[in-house]
Chain A
């Protein structure tokens, strides 16, 4: 099987502006080309677009706008983990020998239709994500004694790190106390616990080991892929204080890469809500179950950026189809040692965790320099 590397990336700034999805896709692609002078449109075999936008035929539209005539072009939609699903699809095309160079671009408008899963009627009238976020939070509080201060610390940390990310939609730093006093949404969830939808696009270039030297002297290899879909209905989760799809996906990814959680130097975590960061780092095995809050507090107090160095979804914004791709870009930059103020010293192994619809499905990727 071909080895597959990430050799290029480009992104837009994430913002609350309403921007047409075609413009977002093209801007991220232009940014990628601008940073990769050895890349020619004719090199690209595959163009995949990840989005929840209702606009049809977007991969062909992007290809035309960018002057690319790929062999394969299509859209990948899987709610919030559309981005990593696209990258796994691109990986598979290259691994199968159907492509050597694949462009993946994720994009979302602020008012994306992907924010609410209309099909899931078992949620009754409580379909907005804040309600599954509330139930996860309440269950985690009940089982592990998680406090409002613990949750506010996750948010404070991620806003603080996003301050050093020029592409983040938020550039404000908040104290834990300020966030604990933010607007109450439910008894268990505040506005500061939530990631926010926004407009944005991110692009990555994947290539086979046969052609890698043409594009980069510093490639980052995808060495582990794990995915698991349990259901589409939120209520099918068996335990609301943990993410079993994440646990299963992590095991598959670690087995494939022959790595263990202790080997991970940094991780991009899908903090759709503050409690999700705690649940995910526990279920990925980065800390033992119930110790997520203590671990995050130490990171925050010591300014250790191991978890969500770009600011997570909470600090950076959550343009659904772009999120997984943006997480991969941050991990790639960290492993290349070019993350600037956000750089984690000597990072060699990075983990990406991207999930959908209350962890009914998860993707875990392991990247190595």
Chain B
């Protein structure tokens, strides 16, 4: 099991950063996809922006980008404001459900 998945199971979103070229590696991997350098795993700030969104039933979901590189699809919790392209989101929870990762975000 990768470091990413071990941490995700604990509810922590960690990202790999190349020790050589400093690029953020996504999807998560033990080696940099640019230079094959080894990676260091660090905690993400977990703040990103909405690239696209839609709704299934009453549930919003969105594709969001974090650290200008990491793109994930997750559930978007709406409390008052409506989602818009480019709006900031915060990664609230992350976990592993069976074979799927599960991400929940809220509008900042």
Contact = CB atoms under 8 A, between A and B. Distances in A.
Interface residues of B, number: 23
Contact of A123 (B52, B73, B97): B73
A122 interface: yes
Task: Report whether over half of chain A's contact residues are helix, strand or loop; otherwise say mixed.
Answer: mixed
A138 interface: yes
Given A118-B99, A121-B100, A122-B27, A138 B72 contact: no
Task: Report whether over half of chain B's contact residues are helix, strand or loop; otherwise say mixed.
Answer: strand
A134 interface: yes
Interface in B49-75: 51-56, 61, 63, 70-75
A186 B62 CA distance: 12
Given A124-B74, A126-B61, A187 B56 contact: yes
Contacts of A134: 54, 56
Interface string B60-103: 01010000001111110000000001000000000001011111
B85 A186 contact: no
A301 interface: no
A240 B27 contact: no
A236 B74 contact: no
A235 B54 contact: no
Nearest to B60: A187
For chain A, give the interface size range.
Answer: 20 to 34
Contacts of A118: 99
B26 interface: yes
A31 interface: no
Given A122-B27, A131-B73, A236-B71, A186 B54 contact: yes
A124 B100 contact: yes
Contacts of A139: 52
Which of A188, A233, A235 has the most C-beta atoms of chain B within 10 angstroms of its own C-beta?
A235
3 closest pairs, A vs B, by CB? A235-B71, A187-B55, A126-B73
Interface of A: 118, 120-127, 131, 134-135, 138-139, 142, 185-189, 233, 235-236, 240
